[in-house]
Amino acid sequence: MLLSALLIVSVALAAEPVDLTAPTVSEKTVHEEKDGLLVVEAEHFFRQTLTEKRAWYLTSAKHTPKVEPDGDEPHVKGAAGGAYMEILPDTRRTHDDKLTHGENFSNAPGKMAVLHYKVHITNPGRYYVWARIYSTTTEDNGLHVGLNDTWPESGQRLQWTAKNQWFWDSKQRTEKVHTGVPGQIWLDIEKPGEHVITFSMREDGIEFDRFLLTKDKDFKRPMDEGPKVRVRKVDAEN
């Protein structure tokens, strides 16, 4: 029932003109970890901040952002729930395009286009972070992940190398390994209870469908949408 309520919110958004950068759920929506696993739809954020130069835009079968430049077509097919978030505008698609720090690139986490998600953790500890991303070029495949307004080194520079498909991965770009090192992206959640997970821009143009947190270091990459989303509570007014 709770997940159905979230889907109703998404349908309601499609029924009338909306701000495609606005939250699709309320601050009372809390995603729930169970047995060391947490799964969240990227579009189910309760707040977006630092959108002066870049922002995350909702894309679905009924809504396509009218933001230029955007060098690729929508990729709604295969996206979980039929919707995803994309950072726009996208001005750097190839290595030859101008890189402008603080505009189309941010190697520092938490500085641009930040999505906020409330989660409830029952089993504290180290959680490995995976995300489902669609990348079409060499310059739209990086993110940062944080916890409770902090941005640990272990959550910086998530990197994807798969192209032209929705793809789960959990790798960290390093100075020596630009394609990313598996097993180096995690958040240490020390206390049970409610927390806020955040994702911020590293490169514009990246498309974001889902993320998950798992205590299993040897977690196997999902071949499809991934495990079931669990929601602890949803604002009854939404």
CA angle 156, 157, 159 (to 5 degrees): 140
pLDDT for position 234: 67
Place of tokens 């309520």: 5
pLDDT for position 237: 45
Question: Are 197 and 186 within 8 A, CB to CB?
Answer: no
pLDDT for position 238: 42
DSSP for 35-48, written as a single string:
TTEEEEETT--SEE
Q: Is residue 238 part of a domain?
A: no
Q: Is residue 160 part of a domain?
A: yes
Half-sphere exposure for 67 (CA within 13 Å, toward CB): 23
Q: How many domains does the chain have?
A: 1
pLDDT for position 3: 56
Question: Are 128 and 57 within 8 A, CB to CB?
Answer: no
Averaged pLDDT score across all residues of the chain: 93
Q: Is residue 196 part of a domain?
A: yes
Q: 129: domain range?
A: 2-233
pLDDT for position 235: 57
Q: How does residue 189 score in pLDDT terms, banded at 50, 70 and 90?
A: very high
CATH code, domain carrying 214: 2.60.120.260
pLDDT for position 64: 95
Tens digit of pLDDT for each residue in 101-134?
A: 999 999 999 999 999 999 999 999 999 999 999 9
Q: Is residue 35 part of a domain?
A: yes
Q: Is residue 101 part of a domain?
A: yes
113 token code pair = 């286009």
pLDDT for position 172: 98
Q: How far apart are CA 91 and CA 218, in angstroms?
A: 36
Tens digit of pLDDT for each residue in 11-48?
A: 444 455 689 999 999 999 999 999 999 999 999 999 99
